[in-house]
Amino acid sequence: MEYRNVTNHQRGGISEALVTSHWYEIYDVFGAWVVDDLHEHEGESVTSTDDIRIKYKELEQWETRTAGENDKYSWVPDCRYEVQVNTRQTDLGDGDRIKMGPPTYDYLIEIKTGQYGSLKRDQRDVMESLEAADDQIVPVRVRVDLERLPDEYGIHFTRICDRH
């Protein structure tokens, strides 16, 4: 058997596989983060993962956007999760409430490995542009720490912008 050093590109592939290939395993940790994120940044009245539904969605290239110094960039996220809030109620006053249709948010995920994996300028510019243009799009950086493999790995979600 021949042994080889793991390259940075291969480490990135391992991180992406952990987050995307068995997406149902990530629902617990991602769902808990999304509940906090929707409550804090979107004003949604969600308190647990029972209040949302998460679906892994197929990828698509997000259209070229003018970002930064009028440069045109495109970005394909590493994965996409559609998050639907189960119910939303709006207070009409006098104790009357109306149920609104469930809002849906597209969480576009860019996966980075280790403490030094960072977004490229064009990735950040497009992600910021997308979030500014659409209230239902939420670009997220996911940092994956592989240092404790094969027994465990670390995962941390960060919203790119604080829209609200």
pLDDT tens column, 102-137: 789 999 999 999 877 788 777 888 888 888 887 789
Name the band, by pLDDT with cuts 50, 70 and 90, for residue 161: confident
Closest to 155 measured CA to CA, from 146, 164, 143? 143
Rounded-to-integer distance, Cα 134 and Cα 118, Å = 24
Q: In this predicted structure, what is the pLDDT of residue 151?
A: 95
- Establish if 52 belongs to a structural domain: yes
Tell me the pLDDT of the chain averaged across its residues.
Answer: 83
Q: In this predicted structure, what is the pLDDT of residue 112?
A: 92
Q: Which residue has the higher pLDDT, 5 or 76?
A: 5
3-class DSSP state of 44: coil
Closest to 19 measured CA to CA, from 7, 5, 33, 6? 33
pLDDT at residue 98 above 60? no
Closest to 111 measured CA to CA, from 147, 63, 155? 155
What's the number of domains the chain is made of? 1
159 burial via Cβ count (<10 Å: 0-12, 13-18, 19+): middle
Which range (31-40, 50-59, 72-81, 150-159) has the least confidence? 72-81
Cis check: omega of the bond before 150, within 30 degrees of 0: yes
- Establish if 164 belongs to a structural domain: no
Q: In this predicted structure, what is the pLDDT of residue 45?
A: 85
pLDDT at residue 23 above 90? no
- Establish if 118 belongs to a structural domain: yes
| Inter-axis angle of helices 23-42 and 8-20, nearest 10 | 80
- Establish if 155 belongs to a structural domain: yes
- Establish if 119 belongs to a structural domain: yes
- Establish if 3 belongs to a structural domain: no
Q: Which domain holds residue 45?
A: 8-159
- Establish if 93 belongs to a structural domain: yes
Name the band, by pLDDT with cuts 50, 70 and 90, for residue 34: very high
Q: Mind listing the pLDDT tens digit for each residue in 41-84? A: 988 888 999 899 999 888 766 555 555 566 677 788 888 999 99
- Establish if 1 belongs to a structural domain: no
Q: Which residue has the higher pLDDT, 30 or 64?
A: 30
